[in-house]
Amino acid sequence: MTKTWFVTGASSGLGRMMTEKLLDRGDRVIGAARRTDALSDLASAHADRLPVVTLDMIDKAAVRAAIDQAFERAGRIDVVVSNAGYGLFGAAEELGDEQIDRQLATNLTGSIQLIRASLPHLRAQGGGRIVQVSSEGGQIAYPGFSLYHASKWGIEGFVEAVAQEVGPFGIDFIIAEPGPTGTNFGAALDRAEPSGIYEKTPAGEVRRLIAGGEFVIRGDAANTVDALIEAADLDHPPFRLALGSTAYENIRGALTKRLEALEAQRDIAFSADRRKN
C-alpha cells in the first residue's frame, strides 16, 4: 500500500535521498525545503507525487501554515519526517549569540513547532507516525558541538514526553540517531571563528580532524535511508533507532558508562530520601 510522507529538509542530504527512494517505490511525498529550486528536477519527474513547499523552520507561522496546507492537500499524511537541521561547530565561548539562536531555532524550536502543528491533524485522521531525525549526538557529545548537542538532546527529551501524551491517539514516534554519515553535513557546518584559546584542547583536535578530512565516517547515506524507511514501515518500530556502527558503539558505550556511574552512587541517591519515622 502506498503512503504519503511529509519530509522537511528534502532538498539535500538524507532528506533528499529519502524523498528519491520513496518516490521510486511509488509513494507520495510532500517535500519541504528553504530552497525549493533544489527539488525542481524531482518535481518535474514526479509532478503528480511531489508537491513542494517552501519552508524555513525558524518561521513558526510558516511551519504551521505548511503543515495545515499539506494535510488539506493530501487528505491524509501517514508519516511526518522532521529532518531539517544543520550543525554548528566551535567551542562554546567562541560561538556568537546569533549563531546560537539560529541553531536552537532551527534544530530544536523548529522541530518542536513542526511536531505540535502536526498533532491535531494526526489525531483527526486517527493516528500516524512522526520520524524525528536526531543523531548519535542526541545521546553522546563531541567537544566543539555543544549547541548542536543541546538541540539534539533537547528534541529527544521533548519527543520522549510527547510520545507518551499522544500514544492513546494512535500517534507514535521514531527517533532516528545516525552516526557520522557520508552526506553534506560537514560542508554545511556553521563554524565559529577560532580564538586560538582551544587550539591544544579536545575541541581544537576535533577542529583539525574536520579541517583535514580525517574525521572517520563509516555511515553510508543510502543504507542509512533504507534502514530508516524499513523501520518506518514496521507496525511496531523501535522508538530509538541507532543508524550505523559508529552510532551503535558510541551510544552503547555512553549508556554503559552512565549506568555504571549511576549504580555506583545508589547509596548516595537513596540517602536523599525522607527518613521514615
Which candidate in 118, 134, 135, 146 is catalytic? 134
- 29 and 78 Cβ atoms separated by less than 8 Å: no
Q: By C-alpha distance, which of 72, 8, 12, 65 is closest to 42? A: 12
In this structure, what are the phi and psi dihedrals at residue 183, rounded to the nearest 5 degrees?
Answer: -125, -165
Strand partners, 8: 32
- Grid coordinates representing 260 are 555504571
Which candidate in 86, 142, 148, 198 is catalytic? 148
Q: Is 195 a catalytic residue?
A: no
Q: Is 11 a catalytic residue?
A: no
- Rounded Cα distance between 115 and 100, Å, is 22
The helix (H) or strand (E) run that includes residue 263 is: helix 245-264
Cα 253–255–258 angle (5° rounding)?
A: 110
Strands (E), the chain: 4-8, 28-33, 52-54, 79-82, 88-89, 128-133, 171-178, 190-191, 240-243
Q: Is 143 exposed, middle or buried (0-12, 13-18, 19+ CB in 10 A)?
A: middle
Q: Is 152 a catalytic residue?
A: yes
What letter represents residue 230's amino acid? Answer: E
Q: Would you tell me how many other CB atoms lie within 10 Å of the CB of residue 229?
A: 20
Which candidate in 3, 12, 152, 198 is catalytic? 152
Q: Which residues are catalytic?
A: 134, 148, 152
